[in-house]
Homo-oligomer: A and B are copies of this chain.
Amino acid sequence: MSLTTDVTATLAVLRAHVADLHAELTRNGLVAWTAGNVSARVPGQDLMVIKPSGVSYDDLSAETMVVTDLHGVLVEGDRAPSSDTAAHAYVYRHLPEVGGVVHTHSTYATAWAARGEAIPCVLTMIADEFGGDIPVGPFALIGDESIGEGIVATLRSSRSKAVLMQNHGPFTVGKDARAAVKAAVLLEDVARTVHVARQLGDTIPIAQSHVDSLYDRYQNVYGQQPATTPSTLGSSS
């Protein structure tokens, strides 16, 4: 597969951007050792940029990032792509509006996943960012398309940008890689807050009409760059 000059320039920018975004995972305490990864779809191409497998976050750079097609076949780079590449690729093939995917084993989100329990929408921040309860996806073994299928089926059944894969950990998506990282950060934040709240008693539900109202407002009004076209992935970045 040969790439045009334009695509090569885009890839250089995107490799640096995806490498930098991994620093947000460590800064926000979402990952231990090498256990998390960020990818970005290459706009207009059947390609993605993703973290190489088993490389320390300190050693990540634009150069170490790898490029694969949307079946996970290596197109550019010296290293093996992340062992989660098949799941990222499946999401890009089946959800065309997704431009970025993040996977972590962040503590509180993974704890809900270990119980197989959705995070209830009892905070305005959950309504804003996720539009309702944050759902659990099925248990799936790594090695084939099971994880990707579980992620996509669960996201399609919900407004949530996040899915808690049972016994495993969260995947988040966004219109681009930065939005998917934002969702991963806010997911862990609300997973922890609701966990802490529940430790000492029952939380107060938010009426569905209020959840809808908060979600609509946040997706369309919040931030400096209002969405020009409606999107189920929202415009907050």
Chain A residues with a Cβ under 8 A of chain B: 28, 32-33, 35, 52-55, 79-80, 83, 105, 107-108, 110-112, 114-117, 122-125, 139, 141-143, 166-169, 182, 185-186, 188-189, 192-204, 206, 210, 213-214, 217, 221-225, 236-237
Contact = CB atoms under 8 A, between A and B. Distances in A.
A115 B197 contact: yes
Contact of A217 (B28, B112, B143, B182): B143
Given A54-B223, A110-B193, 6 more contacts: A33-B189, A35-B125, A108-B196, A139-B210, A142-B217, A195-B200
A163 to B, nearest CB: 15
Contacts of A198: 200
Contacts of A107: 189, 192-193, 196
10 contacts: A32-B186, A32-B189, A52-B224, A83-B222, A114-B122, A114-B123, A117-B201, A125-B169, A139-B210, A141-B214
Nearest to A107: B193
B224 A80 contact: yes
A116 B185 contact: no
Given A53-B224, A189-B107, A223-B54, A195 B199 contact: yes
Given A28-B32, A32-B185, A105-B193, A204 B114 contact: yes
Contacts of A214: 141-142
Nearest to A53: B223
Contact of A199 (B80, B125, B199): B199
A228 to B, nearest CB: 16
Contacts of A116: 204
Nearest to A187: B32
B186 A35 contact: yes
